[in-house]
Every structure is written in C-alpha cells, then in structure tokens.
Chain A
Amino acid sequence: MTKSALKIVCDSGPIIHLDELNCLHLLEDFQEVLIPDAVQKEIKRYRPLSLSKLNVPFVFSPGNISDNARLITLCRVFSLDVGEIEALSLMEKNPQALLLTDDASARMVAEQMGFKVHGTIGILVRSIRRGQTEAKEVLGVLKEIPSKTTLHIKRSLLDEIVIKIKKEFDL
C-alpha cells in the first residue's frame, strides 16, 4: 500500500462511524491521523477499542484551543462542541491537512476557514480510488449504513450514491 501524503485531523463522528462499519483500516494509508484530546475522550466513550486495534497512524494531540478570534467566533456562532473546536484549532496548525467530520456545522466553519474537509462517505468512496477496497464491497458497506451505524443519511441520497458508483465502475 502506497501511503498518501495527506495528514488528517479527526472529529469523533467519522472514527465512530467507520468503526461501526469495520472500516477503520481505511485510514491506514494517511501519513498521520491526528486526534485531539476531547475527540479521543468522546471516541473512547462510544467505541473504547477503536483507537487501539489497528495499524492506523493515530497521533494523539493535546486539546489546545486556538486564539484566532475569527475561528473562535465562528465556532461559537455555530455552537460547536469542544471536540470540534479542538479539531479545528489543530487544523489551524496543520493547514495542509484534511479535516474529517460528519457534522454539518463543523464543516461549514472549516470551509469558512479555507480548510479541506470531508466525512465518512468520502473515506468509503475514496477507498476504491486508492485501491483499498473493491467497488462492489463499498456498495455493500454503503447499504449497511442505516442498520449498522449512527450516521444518518437520507435514504434516497444513499441510493443515488450507490447508482453513481455502479455507473462509474460498470457494475
């Protein structure tokens, strides 16, 4: 497996959702998977074994909060929780990294700050492009999202994604 040059900073949602789908290994090909303190605590509360069982290059960071007034104001306006604020603060120190979150508000703040941001679905679909998973397998995983995970997506959108992948890979 060739490693991507990309570092990622994680919010708790994608780690929890990928673990629920037994897909945490898809994070193995990133350079580093940075986890701030509050995010680590939240993940440990819901999926206690997820941070220790794989070869994911987790890097645990202290939970520092940025002193960038614009970022903090946006975080307050969008009522972000401490984990999301710590993750965005960590992004500020690693602006070339990718923020991984499934929270719409955190995502809006990240985009406002000019950070690259994606979520669980992005990682699942990316795994085909990176040669980690067969397209057919990813279709199976996507279909399991409503029953196996706490990630809530509109059914018709999920169906649309399945159709798009089938078309893209002639399935």
Chain B
Amino acid sequence: MKTIQTEVPEQLYKKTLALVKEGWFRDEKDVFSEAIRRFLDTHRPELMEKFIRDDVEWGLHGHD
C-alpha cells in the first residue's frame, strides 16, 4: 500500500465521512480507494485514445 497526502473539497470530505458513519465503508481510506479504482476503470488509456481517434476521423471525414 502507498500512503499519499492530498487535499479534497470540504463538502466531498463531509460526504465521505457520512458514508463511513452510516456503515457503508470501513473508513474514509476505503472510500477514496474505491473512488479512484472506479475512476481508473472508466478512464482506461485505450478507451481515451479511441475517443480521440474517433474525433480525428470525424474531423477529417465527417459529413456535417
């Protein structure tokens, strides 16, 4: 495990604590790990590359 230090907006932190308090997560570290995992899952490099390539193709050969 890697320890990192960062800043998050107050509101985001309050929502994180509320999730922990309600019992949905063990602690705030779990919330942040899960949030990052999900973000990385939807921002896979090959997917972002595909989007950019689609843009270039449309830009060059689109029909609008």
Which A residues are within 8 Å of any B CB, using their own CB?
A: 4-6, 78-79, 98, 104-105, 107-108, 118-129, 153-154, 157, 161, 164-165, 168
Contacts and interface: CB of A to CB of B under 8 A. Distances in A.
B4 interface: no
Given A104-B43, A108-B42, A154-B45, A5 B64 contact: yes
Contacts of A125: 55-56, 58-60
B60 A168 contact: yes
Given A4-B64, A125-B59, A125-B60, A118 B48 contact: no
Contacts of B47: 104, 108
B51 interface: yes
A127 B61 CA distance: 11
B56 A164 contact: yes
Describe A's contact surface by its main secondary structure.
helix
Contacts of B58: 118, 122, 125-126
B59 A126 contact: yes
Interface in B14-64: 35, 38-39, 42-43, 45, 47-49, 51-52, 54-56, 58-62, 64
Nearest to A168: B60
Contact of A161 (B42, B56, B64): B56
A104 B59 contact: no
A124 B62 CA distance: 13
